[in-house]
Chains A and B, each alone.
Chain A
Amino acid sequence: GAGVSQSPSNKVTEKGKDVELRCDPISGHTALYWYRQRLGQGLEFLIYFQGNSAPDKSGLPSDRFSAERTGESVSTLTIQRTQQEDSAVYLCASSLRGFDTGELFFGEGSRLTVL
């Protein structure tokens, strides 16, 4: 596609439910990133994919968070048993290669609200 696409754009869920957030990166971009942005705070790194592999998952806040990427394309971030502190905007970004300080291209984000 022309840009990074994320869905849903808005998600309201009840505490304890599972949610899936999807990211479609720019075609041909091998590097994919997930960030979390809480209200009034900076971008918090969650996970990085190079191809379908995630060499560093240390940014994931807890074992309730997981992510996968398939076909060196679409990525899904799953949050199980959501908590109110998970409320945030989840941003996905892709870049052509990673490891080369190239430009990151961001999606518009998925705003998650946990009631």
Chain B
Amino acid sequence: DIQLTQSPSFLSASVGDRVTITCRASQGISSYLAWYQQKPGKAPKLLIYAASTLQSGVPSRFSGSGSGTEFTLTISSLQPEDFATYYCQQLEPFGQGTRLEIK
């Protein structure tokens, strides 16, 4: 079974910062990776699919890259509404999540 490991598990940052979250797969998964944002009490929201394709309606400050076993989600300039938990997902398994909080 493929395992996904996100790092860091917790991230503290300020509005305007550039942040990067990493997702590592236990074996190569080509570009079959998605990223989600989840806010408390809400369903996850798809941000990026196929490793780097921005879902319709998602702000361009979000970007994804990578292939094979290492992937990154980058937020170029944090906005107040971006403080949330982020998950990566291969076809089915999810990473454990990265909680992004305001410094």
Decide whether A and B are members of one complex: no
Chain A interface (Cβ within 8 Å of chain B)? Answer: none
